[in-house]
Amino acid sequence: MPRLVAENLGKRYGRRVLFRKLSFALEGGRALAVTGANGAGKSTLLKILAGVLRPTKGVVALHRNGQVLPDEAHPLQTGLVAPYLNVYDGFTARENLAFLAQARRLSQAVDRIETALAQVDLTPRADDLVGTYSSGMKQRVKYAAALLAEPPLLLLDEPTANLDAAGLAMVERIMAHQQETGQLLIVATNVAAEAAKCDDVIRIEDYR
């Protein structure tokens, strides 16, 4: 099973400290909620855990098959869904995923794309331009992109933003599947019901 270890993490911008001395270990099959006020540093922490942003202090290690992944491989083993991520409006959903699969050099790309589209219930609209999608459908494309590589670590920032009731059910399925298959799940949220679905909670303000 995968394992994520954060040791003594700290992040600051100039004199502004977002968090310090933040440590935890997350085992496969478990979920962690990150809570805190808007602007407290939840998104920043998720970017650090995804391996796309360096902390000011501390280290993050993603373990897989008993070994720590090198820094350059860490982001490739991570799926991230966040409001600030963009999809290409001029591409169809299938083309967006095909572009990502090629960039990440994924094997069995066609099968992975079709599976990801089915997971987010977008198959019927997969060949429509994303620019014609609602905000909720674009959010589904982001989920499909995150799931494309079947990542051992899935990070969800405001996971139900812009989603209707059917979208909420989709997110619940994805979260449950990540845990049931022994993978890692981290959710940044201020929604109590979402945090309650996780095994542990980190409150950013506790690490100032």
Quick: pLDDT tens for 4-26.
999 999 999 999 999 999 999 99
Predicted confidence band at 42 (pLDDT cuts at 50, 70, 90)? very high
Q: Would you state the structure tokens that stand for residue 6, as one six-digit string?
A: 């954060």
Residue 124 has what pLDDT? 97
Contacts of 88-91 with C-beta under 8 Å, sequence gap 24+, read 88/130, 89/129, 89/130, 89/131, 90/129, 90/130, 90/131, 91/129, 91/130
Predicted confidence band at 27 (pLDDT cuts at 50, 70, 90)? very high
Residue 44 has what pLDDT? 97
Predicted confidence band at 121 (pLDDT cuts at 50, 70, 90)? very high
Average pLDDT over residues 99-103: 95
Average pLDDT over residues 143-148: 97
Residue 6 has what pLDDT? 98
Residue 36 has what pLDDT? 95
Average pLDDT over residues 184-203: 95
Identify the architecture of domain 3-207 in CATH. 3-Layer(aba) Sandwich (3.40)
Percent of the chain with pLDDT over 70: 100
